[in-house]
Amino acid sequence: MEKIEKTDFKYIGNKLLGWYKTNARDLPFRQTKDPYKIWICEIVFQQTRISQGLNHYNNFIERFPDVKTLAEAEENEVLLYWKGLGYYSRAINVHKAAQQIINDYHGVFPSEYEEILKLKGVGKYTAAAVSSICFNGRIPAVDGNFYRVLSRVFANDFDISNSGAFNYFSELAHLILPDNAGDFNQAMMDLGSEICKPRNPLCGECPLNKDCIAFLTHKVSDFPVKTKKVKASGLELKYYFVHRNGKFLIQQRKDDFIWKKLFEFAPEISDELVPFIKSVKTVQHKLTHKNLSIEIYNVEVDSEEAWNNFVSDNDYIISDYESSHQKSFPKPLENYIENYHTAYRIL
Ligand code: SF4
C-alpha cells in the first residue's frame, strides 16, 4: 500500500468549511442534530438520491418521529413506509436497531462511534456521520464522494476498487479534517454531488481548485483510478441487469475463468446508475468444479440521460428479449431473463 505522508493539509478542509457556510444545500435534516433523524436520513439516502427520497424521508419521520415510536411499530408497517425506497433489509434493520436502542441503551441514542456501530445495519460511514454531526466526533464519513474528491485533490492513484480503499482514504481524509467534522462531512457530501461530480466536475466553481493537483495538472479525468475487472472473488459473482424500455445491456465474456464466450450482464455500473437499482436476487449455481453464488441487481434506468451516458461510456451490446434468444447465456442468467420477462412483461 502506498504510504501517506503526514503533512498538514487542514487548510483544505477549512476552505471547504468556508464554502459550505454559504453553499450548503437547504435540506430538512440539516436543521436538526437529533441523532435519530440523522441516522434515518443517512440510511434512507444511502442508495437513494436526495430528490427521490425526500418525500419518503419526511413521511417516515412524520409517522415514526422518534426511536420509541419506531421500536413499537409493527414490522409490516415499517416496510410499508419504506415502499419505493427499495433495499427493504434497511427498513428491517432500522426497526431492529430502534428496539436495540430501547433494550440496550434505555431508549437513548448512543453517542460514541463504537456504540453506534453496534446498531443493526449501521456501518462505518453511517456511524461516522451520526457521531460527527450529532456528537462532535472527529471522524470522516468516508464514502464514494471522499474517494473521488481526495483522489483528485491529491492526484492519488490508489485504486478505489481495492479492498483497502476505505482505510486508505480514511487516513487521507484525516489529513484535511478540520475540527468541525460534522460540517466537513456534509460539505464533502455537497461538494461531491454538486461540484466534484463523477462526470464533468465543475472545477471552475470549486473552492478547492487552487489546491487540486489533478485540476492544476489537467488530469482530472484520470482520477479516481478504478480497475475494470470482473468482480469475481472466489466463488462469488455480481451482475447488474441494466435495462430501460425493454432493452438491456450484455457483453461477451472474454476471460478463461468460467463461461468463456457466453454472454453476461454488466459486471459493474457507474455511480450515476446506482440510484436506479431496484432489487437484488441471489442465485446459487453449481458447476462441476465450482459452487457459485451470483448476485444479480435489477437496475431499471428511469433516466434517458443516465442510460445514454452509460451506453456511450461502455462497450455493452444493447439487447432485448427476442434477440437474446440468438445468444448463449449461462443458465442462471438465461433463467433471470426468462423470469423477468414472465413476471413483468416489459422486455
Ligand atoms: S478542482 Fe475539480 S477535480 Fe478538483 S476537487 Fe474541485 S471539482 Fe474536483
Express each pLDDT in 59-70 by its tens digit: 999 999 999 999
List Cβ<8 Å contacts ≥24 apart for 7-10. 7/175, 8/175, 9/175, 9/176, 10/175, 10/176, 10/177, 10/178
Is any atom of ligand 1 closer than 6 Å to the C-beta of 191? no
Q: Under the phi-then-psi rule, with left for phi > 0, alpha for psi from -120 to 50, and beta for the rest, what region is 138? A: beta
How far apart are the CA of 149 and the centre of ligand 1, in A? 7
Does residue 317 surpass a pLDDT of 50? yes
Is any atom of ligand 1 closer than 6 Å to the C-beta of 203? yes
Residue 211 has phi, psi (to 5 degrees) of: -115, -10
Please tell me whether residue 157 adopts helix, strand or coil conformation.
coil
Does residue 294 surpass a pLDDT of 90? yes
**Which range (91-100, 131-140, 210-219, 229-238) has the least confidence?**
229-238
Pocket test for ligand 1, best of 195, 205, 271 (most atoms within 8 A of CB): 195
Express each pLDDT in 208-249 by its tens digit: 999 999 999 999 999 999 986 544 455 788 899 999 999 999
Beta-carbon count within 10 A of 100 CB: 18
Strand partners, 247: 244, 320
Q: Residue of the nearest CA to atom 4 in ligand 1?
A: 212
How far apart are the CA of 187 and the centre of ligand 1, in A? 14
Most confident of 49-53, 200-204, 292-296, 333-337: 200-204
How far apart are the CA of 200 and the centre of ligand 1, in A? 10
Q: What is the pLDDT of residue 260?
A: 67
Name the band, by pLDDT with cuts 50, 70 and 90, for residue 252. Answer: confident
Q: CA-CA distance, 97 to 110, in Å (whole number)?
A: 11
Express each pLDDT in 185-215 by its tens digit: 999 999 999 999 999 999 999 999 999 999 9
Q: What is the pLDDT of residue 34?
A: 97
Is any atom of ligand 1 closer than 6 Å to the C-beta of 16? no
Index of the ligand 1 atom closest to the CA of residue 203: 2
How far apart are the CA of 210 and the centre of ligand 1, in A? 9
Q: Residue of the nearest CA to atom 1 in ligand 1?
A: 209
Does residue 112 surpass a pLDDT of 90? yes
Whole-number percent of the chain with pLDDT over 90: 67
Give the mean pLDDT of 247-270. 84
How far apart are the CA of 42 and the centre of ligand 1, in A? 24
Index of the ligand 1 atom closest to the CA of residue 207: 6
Exposed / middle / buried, residue 288 (Cβ in 10 Å: 0-12, 13-18, 19+): exposed
Pocket test for ligand 1, best of 9, 148, 202, 212 (most atoms within 8 A of CB): 212
How far apart are the CA of 215 and the centre of ligand 1, in A? 6
Q: What is the pLDDT of residue 342?
A: 81
Index of the ligand 1 atom closest to the CA of residue 148: 8
**Amino acid identity of 130?**
V
Show the CA angle centred on residue 148, arms to residues 91 and 38, nearest 5°. 30
DSSP state of 271: G
Q: What is the pLDDT of residue 182?
A: 96
Q: Under the phi-then-psi rule, with left for phi > 0, alpha for psi from -120 to 50, and beta for the rest, what region is 200? A: left
How far apart are the CA of 272 and the centre of ligand 1, in A? 18
Alpha helices (H) along the chain:
10-23, 35-44, 50-63, 67-72, 75-82, 88-104, 113-116, 124-135, 144-153, 165-176, 181-190, 213-216, 304-313, 321-324, 331-344
Express each pLDDT in 264-283 by its tens digit: 999 989 989 988 998 889 99
Question: Which amino acids are annotated catalytic?
Answer: 42
Is any atom of ligand 1 closer than 6 Å to the C-beta of 153? yes
Does residue 6 surpass a pLDDT of 60? no
Beta-carbon count within 10 A of 55 CB: 10
Q: What is the pLDDT of residue 1?
A: 47
Mean of all residue pLDDT scores within the chain: 89
Pocket test for ligand 1, best of 189, 209, 210, 211 (most atoms within 8 A of CB): 209
Express each pLDDT in 145-197 by its tens digit: 999 999 999 999 999 988 899 999 999 999 999 999 999 999 999 999 999 99
For the chain, domains (ranges, CATH) are 10-222 (1.10.340.30), 236-344 (3.90.79.10)
Please tell me whether residue 7 adopts helix, strand or coil conformation.
coil
Is any atom of ligand 1 closer than 6 Å to the C-beta of 213? no
Query: CB neighbours of 196 closer than 8 A, spacing ≥ 6?
Result: 145, 148, 149, 152, 202, 206, 208
Grid coordinates 453506534 are at which residue? 116
CA distances from 213 to 18, 55, 97, 217, 298 (A): 20, 39, 42, 6, 37
Q: Using DSSP, how many helices (H) and how many strands (E) does the chain show?
A: 15, 6
Q: Residue of the nearest CA to atom 8 in ligand 1?
A: 196
Grid coordinates 501517506 are at which residue? 4
Index of the ligand 1 atom closest to the CA of residue 212: 4
Q: What is the pLDDT of residue 345?
A: 61
Q: Residue of the nearest CA to atom 2 in ligand 1?
A: 203
Is any atom of ligand 1 closer than 6 Å to the C-beta of 193? no
Q: Which residue has the higher pLDDT, 255 or 312?
A: 312
Name the band, by pLDDT with cuts 50, 70 and 90, for residue 326. Answer: confident
